[in-house]
Amino acid sequence: MRKDYKIIELYDEIVVLRNIFDSVEIVEPMTERKVECLEHSITVTNENCFRSCKVEDRRKECLCRKIVSTGETYTMLQFKDGETYYIMCRAIRVKNKDYIMIITSKITKNIILSGGNGYTELVKSITKYNKSIYCDELTGAYNRRFVTENIDYILKKAEREGINVCVGCVDIDNFKKFNDTYGHAFGDTVLKTVTEAMRTVVRREDDYVIRLGGDEFVIIMQGIDKKTFVKKMNECCEIVSNLRLKTEKGDIAKICMSIGCASTIEDKLQTYEELTAKADEKLYISKKRGKNCAT
């Protein structure tokens, strides 16, 4: 499936991929030119893409042109000049123009040294990449992109299987005060500590702790009723309220948070926007009740 990118999004993804794979290139297949992507610009260069292409017999049938027409993603193992390469080609779109992203890794050594387990190493690399694009770098929680790209699938699958989905909107109480009083480094410590605490409760395979930004988090749990979910969210609040963090000034900081809860079945809601709107309403009630609780 073809994916639309903003230029900065594509640039960020290329940076991540180049830390994992040997080569990441963007090409414009109709002109057979390589493309340079910077933070705020994308330019077709004068360099021919076929000179470095690892796909055999590309002159007979350019794979990239085929991918542009179909929008599909192709992966393959290619043997060339005594080396073995893993190649993935996928269609992307930037500013309504079609390009191809080509990811290449030489896996010859992996295959030889591991007795045929080059595939295992490849899977590890892909898994590492998948985690990196959906992971908040500071806390290790899922990030906003994870929600954007996966929430529709989660909700539709749950509806199809008759499973309840509960959403909690989380806000760390008086978080700005920590940053202003003790500095952003301590604020980061608070965020990481609170994330670890929530994960002690939200720990099943289909449970998600997501950091949207700043001190705003969302928790998603499936297959439980709303009453049980609220109980678990209050458990999170209790664990966090028992935390004591020592600052560089020697003070002992007490942390607490408030959570608003909503669910698909009990609240008769279908979309993520509806769920978070309802949860935000409940979050406001938690704040009115004195904070440090879930509603």
With left for phi above 0 and alpha for psi between -120 and 50, is residue 42 left, alpha or beta?
Answer: beta
The torsion defined by the Cα of 203, 211, 192 and 127, in degrees rounded to 10, comes to 60
| 127/217 Cα distance (integer angstroms) | 24
Contact at 8 Å (CB) between 260 and 281? yes
Contact 64, 102 (CB under 8 A): yes
What does the longest C-alpha to C-alpha distance in the chain come to? 71
In terms of DSSP H, where are the helices of the chain?
A: 7-18, 63-70, 108-113, 118-134, 144-161, 175-182, 184-199, 226-241, 272-288
165-172 and 23-28 strand pairing:
unpaired
* Burial readout 120-137 (b: 16 or more C-beta within 10 A, e: otherwise): ebbeebbeebeeeebbbe
DSSP state of 82: T
C-alpha count within 13 angstroms, C-beta hemisphere, residue 203: 7
Catalytic residue among 81, 207, 215, 267: 215
CB burial of residue 29 (10 Å; 0-12, 13-18, 19+): buried
Verify whether residue 152 is a known catalytic residue: no
Active-site positions? 215
